[in-house]
Amino acid sequence: MKTTVPEDTEKPDIKEWRWSCVEGSAPLSRKILRKWLSGRDASGYEENASLLFMELFSNALRFCPPDRLVPTRWMLYEDRLRIEVDDASAEEPIVTITADEAESGRGLLLVTHLADKWGSRHRVFNDGNGNYLHGKTVWFELYK
């Protein structure tokens, strides 16, 4: 008799990174994400995953954690890819419609349109001095 494993107990292939909070981390992280996906025969995710990851990562660079490292997690399941990015802003992400001439502010609109699911959850950072700072994890999922 065949049994199926419930979706929430499936063990994904996980890669965790903590990126330096500098501009040069963005292109490097995108390149490594694409290579990681390609190495797992998941290159079908590359285009949208790298674009959406860059949107979340760029926002995280604006709100660096106290240790100046941006934590990220890439989780590849059999039927989907989930990417999480932590930042040190307690503000919930809000999708806004920006003016055509605006140079920023469209990131979450892209996430809303291209991701199958996305959201955020509250998290706490330790500043290394015994103080706790509020932040969040923003995530998205892409399905096969």
Express each pLDDT in 62-108 by its tens digit: 999 888 999 999 999 999 999 999 999 999 988 877 656 655 556 78
For the chain, the maximum distance between any two Cα atoms, rounded to a whole number of angstroms, is 61
Tokens standing for 5?
Answer: 């494993």
| 3-class DSSP string for 65-134 | CCCCEEEEEEEECCCEEEEEEEECCCCCCCCCCCCCCCCCCCHHHHHHHHCCEEEEEEEEEECCCCCEEE
pLDDT tens string 54-64: 999 999 999 99
Do 116 and 110 meet the contact criterion of CB atoms below 8 Å apart? no
> With bands split at pLDDT 50, 70 and 90, how would you rate the model's confidence at 49?
very high
Residue whose entry in the numeric block shows the structure tokens 């892209």 = 110
Q: Would you tell me which CATH number, out of the four given (3.30.70.1150, 1.20.1070.10, 3.20.20.140, 3.30.565.10), belongs to the domain 14-143?
A: 3.30.565.10
For residues 32-61, give the mean pLDDT.
96
**Domain edges within the chain:** 14-143
Q: Is the pLDDT of residue 26 over 70?
A: yes
Query: How far apart are the C-alpha atoms of 8 and 131, rounded to whole Å?
Result: 33
Q: Could you give phi then psi for residue 65, rounded to 5 degrees?
A: -65, 165
pTM: 0.86
